[in-house]
Amino acid sequence: MKVGVVDYGLGNLRSVAGAVEKLGHEAVVSSDPRVLEQAGKLILPGVGAFADGMRKLTRLGLVDGLARLVHERGRPILGICLGAELLARESDEFGRHDGLGWIDARVTRIAPAAGFRVPHVGWNAVRHNRDSALFAGIPQEALFYFVHSYQICCDDPSLVEAECDYGARVTAAVVRGHIFGTQFHPEKSQRVGLELLRNFLSVA
């Protein structure tokens, strides 16, 4: 299967594409919606600031292009880190900014807690919904790799697929239909990260 890795200038593209290819699929890295249309699944990676991400997606025509692929063509999509945050309605990172609005959520800064530094960097145990297709075969409290200062706060708790503890509960993954997002980096999370990517790529 061809897997479209969305290139908007702010992603960990090589690692994501490498993980996809390690699982036996063809990674198509592109910023052209016409090229991405050839893919059966989409991955929206991302590292950086929310406003920069939305600005680059808009300039490349990817806001409308991805909306057509995801909403009209029904392509499953996985947002990773900043890519997951961009799925939300809005963010307050360096001012208020509109997101894609595909997940009813707001992105807010992690509140510092005693003994916990922001940004949240490193391995953390993740608890997931037991019937989660995204986490199928992955044990509770499996360790995933995080690098972030902001978090996804869903208005509807049913959209939260997994959480971790970092001085308080932090959303680790969200799911709405065929739209998925992980705050952690599966491509950097060794065996369990590859297992999660395999689960996403097997979603009908």
Annotated catalytic residue: which of 25, 163, 185, 195? 185
Nearest to 49 by CA among 145, 183, 148, 144: 148
Q: Is 46 left (phi over 0), alpha (psi -120 to 50) or beta?
A: left
Mean pLDDT of the chain: 95
Residue range 61-92, pLDDT digits in tens: 999 999 999 999 999 999 999 999 999 999 99
Exposure on the CB side of residue 86, measured as CA atoms within 13 A = 31
What domains lie within the chain, and their CATH numbers? 2-202 (3.40.50.880)
Annotated catalytic residue: which of 93, 161, 163, 187? 187
Residue range 22-55, pLDDT digits in tens: 999 999 999 999 999 999 999 999 999 999 999 9
- pLDDT of 204 reads 64
**Residue 89 contacts residue 105 (beta carbons within 8 Å):** yes
Annotated catalytic residue: which of 81, 85, 154, 195? 81
**Residue ranges with strand state E in 39-96:** 41-44, 77-80, 88-91
Residue tagged 């705050």 (tokens): 183
Which region among 71-80, 108-117, 125-134 has the lowest average model confidence (pLDDT)?
A: 108-117
Any residues with CB less than 8 A from the CB of 160 and at least 6 apart, and which?
154, 171, 173, 174
Rounded distance between C-alpha atoms, residue 166 and residue 125, angstroms: 10
**Burial of 60 by CB count in 10 Å (0-12 exposed, 13-18 middle, 19+ buried)?**
middle
- Note if the pTM is more than 0.85: yes
Nearest to 16 by CA among 33, 28, 1, 8: 28
Residue 81 annotated among the catalytic residues of the structure: yes
Residue 95: is its pLDDT beyond 80?
yes
**Residue 70 contacts residue 77 (beta carbons within 8 Å):** yes
Residue 185 annotated among the catalytic residues of the structure: yes
- Confidence band for 16, pLDDT divided at 50, 70 and 90: very high
